[in-house]
Structure formats: C-alpha cells, structure tokens
C-alpha cells in the first residue's frame, strides 16, 4: 500500500467509514495484482523496504496497524510470486522468510495472517476486525483468531419450533408450567432437573406462568421488562478448544428480564430466577414441582440440582430455603448430595472460602420408592480389610441391641464395593458453544441409573440443551424434555440425535469395579 493510500485509509478509518476503507483496500489489491505482471521482484530492495517499514512502524496507532497489515500483504504477494516464477517453490516459504528476516519471522507471519484474512473475509467480518485497529496490531490479530475460530464452528442447530414426538424421546417446546399439564398423571418414573438458579443467568425469552384462571380464554398480559445492566457478558467456548472461554458483551435484548400479570385473570408471568426475593423464587419452584409431582409415579423420585447466590456479600441460602419449602409442601427429603466441582471457576473473594460445590437434592413422595442402590456402589476405602462383609465387635463392648461398640464391615461387599456416599466429585463438562450451565453427563448418569428402571421414562422440565435426554438415550431410558427456548431445544435435539446416530450409542450400564 503506498503512503498516500495508507493515509487515505487511515483518514477513512478515523471517520469510522469502515465500508469505504474496505473498498479502498480491495481496490488496492487489484491495482497490486496488475503491477505484479509488469514489475519483477528485486529481493534485496524488497527486504530493505520491509525492514524500513518495520522500523518506521513502532507505535500502536491505527496507522501503524494498517502499516503492519500492508507489510503482511507485501509478503503474501512475494510468496505468491515465488510460487509462480519458481523462485520460492512450495514448502520453501518459511525457510526463505527465516533467511531474509531471521529476527522477525513470527511477527511477519502474523502480519500475513491478518492480511490474508482481510483479503478473504466478508465485509462484516472485515469491519469487526478493523474496528480494533486503533488498539494496535495485537488486538486485530486476536480478533482474527476469534473470527477464524467462529467460522470453523459447526452450523448452529435450527431453533426447534415444533415438538419432537419420538417413541424414546419427546421434546416439548414451551413453558413447563403449561406443557406439564399435557402429561398424564403418574406416567413418569423419575425427574432429573436443574432449574434456573436465583439471579444467576438470563435465559432470553424464558417466561414462566403461575396461577390465574386456565379458562381465561387467552391472557391479556400487562408485561414490563428490565435490562439487568450488571449482566454484561457471556462466555463462549470453541469446538477446537472447549476449555477456552471467550467473553463477549451482550446486546440489551439478551440481558432483559420480563414480568407481569394477566389483566383478566391475574395470572403471573416472570423470568424464573429473577424474582424480587429468594422467597418468591422458591415459592415459584415449589409450584413447578407440585405440577411435577402430579405426573410422577408414586414410586418415583425427583432430583434437583441447585446452587446458592451471593447478594450484598452474603449467601441467600436459596438451596436451604428450597428444601424447607419442599418439605412443607409434602415432599420427603431423602438425600442431599454435595456435588464437588473440582474445575469450578475460582472466586476472587479473599474473606471467605472459595465455593466449589453445588447441591443435588433427592425428594420422594413416600417411604418406599424405586431405587437401584447397586447401580451407585463405589469402591470401599477398607475394601481389603479381611472383616469385610461381617459385623464385628471390639473391646467386648458390643451391645447387640443398640449397635454400640459395633464396627460394621457388613456394608462392604466381597467385591470391595460399598454404598455410594453423598459427596460426588465430578468436573463440569465443557460444552462447545454458548456456555450456560449444562449438567455434566457424569452427574446425570448415577441419578438416572439409580432412579429410573431400564425402559422407564425420565422427565426434565428445564431441559436446556438436553443432557438428561442424552444420558437417557445412552442408557436405554425414555425421556420427556421441556424447554422454553426454541434455540436450546434445537441444540438438545441436535445433541441427542447426533449421539443416537453414533455407533453403539446405547451402551451397557457401567458396573462398579472393585478397586485394585
Ligand atoms: C440450568 S438450565 C438447564 C440446563 C440443563 N440441565 C442441561 O444440562 O442442559 C435451565 C433451563 O431452563 C430453561 N427454562 C427457564 N424457564 C423455563 C420454563 N418456564 N419452562 C421450561 N424451561 C425453562 C432455560 O431456558 C434453561 O435452558
């Protein structure tokens, strides 16, 4: 790019006329292509010019950035010419570069990468990259990396607008409070779910309806919306590196919550999780689970994954409030599993321990229910103790009635396994795509195996991207999923279908292996 052209590009950039800048750069490319036909390369002059430009461009202005990109273009040009005239045969480019510019090879390759991207990307992508010019070349390069990663992504699944009505899998798209009403009484073997947490994530458009008159004949909603300004970004991972998380700032419509009432019957509608108080949130969850109870067989259990929320530097005790409210509503609180998350994102607070767990609550409806404890067995710590499988006394103090003085090894089987304990250490599973709290498959597996018989039906009323359905499919159970977001429901469908098509998608249930 000539200095004059560079100046004009720079001027255009400053007035933020990116379209014009892109046109200018393209025009320059074609001019350069014509020049190439007539003017042979003089390598010594070429190297001297690149070096002079490199020397001159040492600041972080937009002008320098464009200058670096132009150097990248010159090199791309030289590479192409070398291929054509045989002066730099295929595979010889990097050695050539190392020989001519021994101290700047990596930088030059980066300039080429950006120049190549700008030559091939569409106008919108070019604009997204060029707006970083004023932050320096490195910022532009980062954006190019990010654009390249995005373009490699698998096409996004289409939103699911109609339900999926398969024999083994049903995906009902809509508000679970409404869709649950379509499920017959006592038809579900077990429920595994993770509702939205209190004031944690916004699921755009997810509205839950409570109360009112079912015969209202079409609600007349008086709805308000609120932009949660503190909720500024979303984290995204890429398929190539699912652990890499990119933060992107959200448009207002993705951080807007809604709430309101039907003017006719008083039904309430809200973004579940964004109620004014944790008490209201818990009361709403209890209403959802009351509907869940109706569809659950009396022998079925409900597993709920939930975590707490900080507000004004204190925990709101949402999980504890939920347990008490559920007990008050008649559920039997059967177990409390601590889900230890070894890879949980660290917290920066220095005045309290960093949280690395969430809660899994097990609720039943009556003392006897369907439960396969064997599916959960785990290797015992005292697995090699010769007393395993026996009850033993010590110091002659054993009182057979009270159990005092007894050391029971009876619960350890000959195979060295014992009943599953209540602290489970399971890492969060990275998901390539929007990162918004899917449950790990490894967490769903034991819940499903223990509580849903083979061939039975599991329900997840807050299905998200369908982890419950995915595991159910793999472990030969049927699944009914309810998800209000058409986008997430589409992702769930794609995930489950993708897996179903894999060879050996239905695998044998895992067995507890006796530890060595
Ligand atoms: C924590 S995520 C569930 C993630 C899920 N367990 C998974 O593994 O993908 C909660 C989900 O509930 C959905 N949701 C919120 N309100 C809903 C409603 N009224 N009915 C159905 N789904 C709802 C949200 O869109 C979100 O996908």
Ligand 1 atom showing the smallest separation from residue 444 Cα: 8
Q: Is 484 in the pocket of ligand 1 (CB under 6 A)?
A: yes
Distance 421 CA to ligand 1 centre (A): 28
What's the mean pLDDT in 403-413? 57
Tokens of 393: 């006394």
What's the mean pLDDT in 465-483? 95
What is the model's pLDDT at position 186?
98
Q: Is 431 in the pocket of ligand 1 (CB under 6 A)?
A: no
Q: Is 483 in the pocket of ligand 1 (CB under 6 A)?
A: yes
Is the per-residue pLDDT at 365 higher than 80? yes
What is the model's pLDDT at position 130?
85
Ligand 1 atom showing the smallest separation from residue 201 Cα: 1
What is the model's pLDDT at position 108?
94
Q: Is 305 in the pocket of ligand 1 (CB under 6 A)?
A: no
Tens digits of residue pLDDT in 99-131: 999 989 999 999 999 999 998 888 778 888 888
What is the model's pLDDT at position 373?
92
In a 10 Å sphere around its CB, with 0-12 CB exposed, 13-18 middle and 19+ buried, how is residue 103 labelled?
exposed
Task: For residue 306, give every residue at least 6 positions away whose Cβ sits within 8 Å of its Cβ, in sequence order, or none.
Answer: 194, 195, 197, 318, 319, 322, 358, 359, 361
Q: Is 437 in the pocket of ligand 1 (CB under 6 A)?
A: yes
Label residue 505 by pLDDT band (50, 70, 90): very low
How far is 356 from 347, CA to CA, in rounded Å?
9
DSSP β-ladder status, 188-193 and 457-460: parallel
Distance 339 CA to ligand 1 centre (A): 19
Domain boundaries, the chain: 3-152, 164-377+419-502
Tens digits of residue pLDDT in 134-170: 788 888 898 888 888 777 665 567 889 999 998 899 9
Question: CB of 475 within 8 A of CB of 448?
Answer: yes
How far is 3 from 63, CA to CA, in rounded Å?
10
Is the per-residue pLDDT at 271 higher than 60? yes
Residue 229: Cβ within 10 Å count: 8
Distance 397 CA to ligand 1 centre (A): 54
What is the model's pLDDT at position 516?
23
* Residue whose token pair is 């009351």: 290
Q: Lowest-confidence range among 63-77, 281-295, 325-339? A: 63-77
Distance 483 CA to ligand 1 centre (A): 6
What's the mean pLDDT in 7-17? 50
Q: Which is more confident, 439 or 233?
A: 439
Tens digits of residue pLDDT in 241-254: 545 455 556 777 77
Q: Which is more confident, 289 or 393?
A: 289
Question: What is residue 365's DSSP assignment?
Answer: S
DSSP β-ladder status, 478-483 and 169-173: parallel
Tens digits of residue pLDDT in 201-210: 888 888 999 9
What's the mean pLDDT in 463-483? 95
Q: Which is more confident, 137 or 469?
A: 469
In sequence order, the β-bridge partners of residue 474 are none
Q: Is 196 in the pocket of ligand 1 (CB under 6 A)?
A: yes
Distance 472 CA to ligand 1 centre (A): 17
Q: Is 433 in the pocket of ligand 1 (CB under 6 A)?
A: no
How far is 115 from 70, CA to CA, in rounded Å?
7
How far is 290 from 114, CA to CA, in rounded Å?
57
CATH architecture of the domain formed by 164-377+419-502: 3-Layer(aba) Sandwich (3.40)
Q: Is 358 in the pocket of ligand 1 (CB under 6 A)?
A: no
In sequence order, the β-bridge partners of residue 310 are 315
Q: Is 272 in the pocket of ligand 1 (CB under 6 A)?
A: yes
Ligand 1 atom showing the smallest separation from residue 271 Cα: 16
Label residue 468 by pLDDT band (50, 70, 90): very high
Q: Tell how far CA 222 is from the center of its chain.
A: 33
Is the per-residue pLDDT at 17 higher than 70? no
Q: Is 288 in the pocket of ligand 1 (CB under 6 A)?
A: no
Q: Which is more confident, 295 or 434?
A: 295
What is the model's pLDDT at position 15?
44
Measured CA to CA in angstroms, residue 313 lies from 183, 198, 356 at distances of 42, 15, 17
- Using DSSP's 3-state secondary structure scheme, residue 451 falls into helix
What is the model's pLDDT at position 28?
53
How far is 511 from 204, CA to CA, in rounded Å?
40
Q: Is 269 in the pocket of ligand 1 (CB under 6 A)?
A: no
Mean pLDDT estimate for the chain: 82
Label residue 23 by pLDDT band (50, 70, 90): low
Label residue 460 by pLDDT band (50, 70, 90): very high
Question: CB of 157 within 8 A of CB of 489?
Answer: no
Is the per-residue pLDDT at 223 higher than 50? yes
Ligand 1 atom showing the smallest separation from residue 175 Cα: 20
Mutate to test the pocket of ligand 1, among 464, 472, 481, 487 (most ligand atoms within 8 A of CB): 464
What is the model's pLDDT at position 509?
29
Question: CB of 108 within 8 A of CB of 67?
Answer: no
Q: Which is more confident, 36 or 92?
A: 92
Q: Which is more confident, 60 or 455?
A: 455
Distance 322 CA to ligand 1 centre (A): 18
Count the residues in the chain.
Answer: 516
Q: Is 469 in the pocket of ligand 1 (CB under 6 A)?
A: no
Distance 149 CA to ligand 1 centre (A): 27
Nearest to 77 by CA among 110, 36, 23: 36
Positive or negative: CA dihedral 274, 302, 345, 445: negative
What's the mean pLDDT in 17-41? 55
Q: Is 482 in the pocket of ligand 1 (CB under 6 A)?
A: yes
Distance 195 CA to ligand 1 centre (A): 6
CA contacts within 13 A on the Cβ side of 23:
5
Q: Dihedral, CA atoms, 472, 474, 477, 478, nearest 10 degrees? A: 70
* Residue whose token pair is 């008159």: 213
């Amino acid at each position: 790019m000539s200095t004059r052209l560079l100046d004009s590009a720079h001027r255009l950039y400053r007035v933020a006329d990116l379209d014009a800048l892109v046109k200018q750069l393209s025009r320059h490319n074609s001019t350069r292509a014509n020049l190439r036909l007539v003017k042979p390369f003089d390598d010594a002059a070429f190297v001297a010019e690149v070096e002079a430009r490199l020397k001159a461009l040492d600041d972080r202005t937009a002008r320098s950035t464009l200058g670096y990109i132009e150097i990248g273009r010159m090199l791309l040009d030289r590479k192409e010419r070398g291929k054509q005239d045989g002066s730099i045969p295929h595979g010889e480019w990097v050695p050539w570069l190392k020989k001519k510019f021994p101290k700047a090879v990596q930088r030059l390759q980066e300039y080429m990468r950006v120049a190549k991207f700008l030559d091939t990307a569409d106008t919108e992508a070019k604009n997204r990259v060029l707006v970083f010019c004023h932050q320096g070349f490195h910022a532009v390069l980062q954006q190019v990396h990010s654009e390249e990663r995005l373009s490699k992504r698998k096409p996004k699944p289409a939103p699911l607008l109609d339900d999926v009505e398969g024999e083994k899998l049903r995906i009902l798209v809509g508000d679970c409070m409404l869709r649950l009403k379509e499920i017959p009484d006592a038809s579900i073997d077990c429920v595994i779910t993770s509702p939205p947490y209190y004031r944690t994530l916004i699921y755009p458009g997810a509205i839950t309806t409570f109360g009112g008159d079912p015969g209202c004949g079409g609600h007349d909603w008086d709805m308000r919306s609120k932009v949660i300004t503190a909720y500024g970004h979303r984290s995204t991972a890429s398929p190539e590196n699912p652990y890499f998380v990119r933060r992107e700032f959200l448009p207002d419509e993705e951080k807007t919550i809604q709430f309101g009432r039907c003017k006719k019957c008083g039904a309430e509608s809200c973004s579940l999780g964004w109620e004014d108080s944790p008490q209201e949130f818990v009361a709403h969850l209890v209403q959802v689970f009351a509907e869940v109870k109706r569809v659950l067989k009396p022998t079925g259990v409900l597993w709920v994954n939930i975590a707490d929320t900080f507000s004004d530097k204190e925990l709101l005790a949402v999980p504890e409030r939920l347990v008490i409210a559920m007990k008050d509503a008649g559920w039997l609180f059967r177990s409390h599993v601590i889900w230890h998350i070894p890879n949980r994102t660290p917290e920066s607070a220095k005045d309290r321990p960093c949280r690395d767990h969430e809660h899994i609550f097990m609720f039943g409806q009556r003392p006897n229910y369907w439960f396969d404890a064997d599916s959960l067995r785990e290797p015992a710590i005292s697995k090699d103790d010769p007393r395993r499988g026996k009850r033993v006394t010590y110091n002659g103090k054993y009182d057979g009635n009270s159990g005092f003085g007894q050391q029971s090894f009876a619960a350890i089987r000959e195979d060295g396994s014992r009943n599953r304990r209540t602290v489970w250490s399971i890492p969060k599973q990275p998901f390539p795509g929007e990162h918004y709290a899917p449950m790990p498959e490894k967490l769903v597996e034991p819940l499903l195996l223990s509580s849903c018989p083979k061939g039975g039906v599991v329900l997840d009323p807050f299905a998200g991207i369908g982890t419950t359905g995915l595991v159910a499919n793999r472990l030969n159970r049927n699944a009914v999923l309810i998800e209000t977001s058409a986008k997430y429901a589409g992702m769930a469908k794609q995930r489950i279908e993708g897996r179903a098509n894999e060879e050996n998608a239905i695998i044998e249930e895992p067995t507890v292996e006796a530890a060595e």
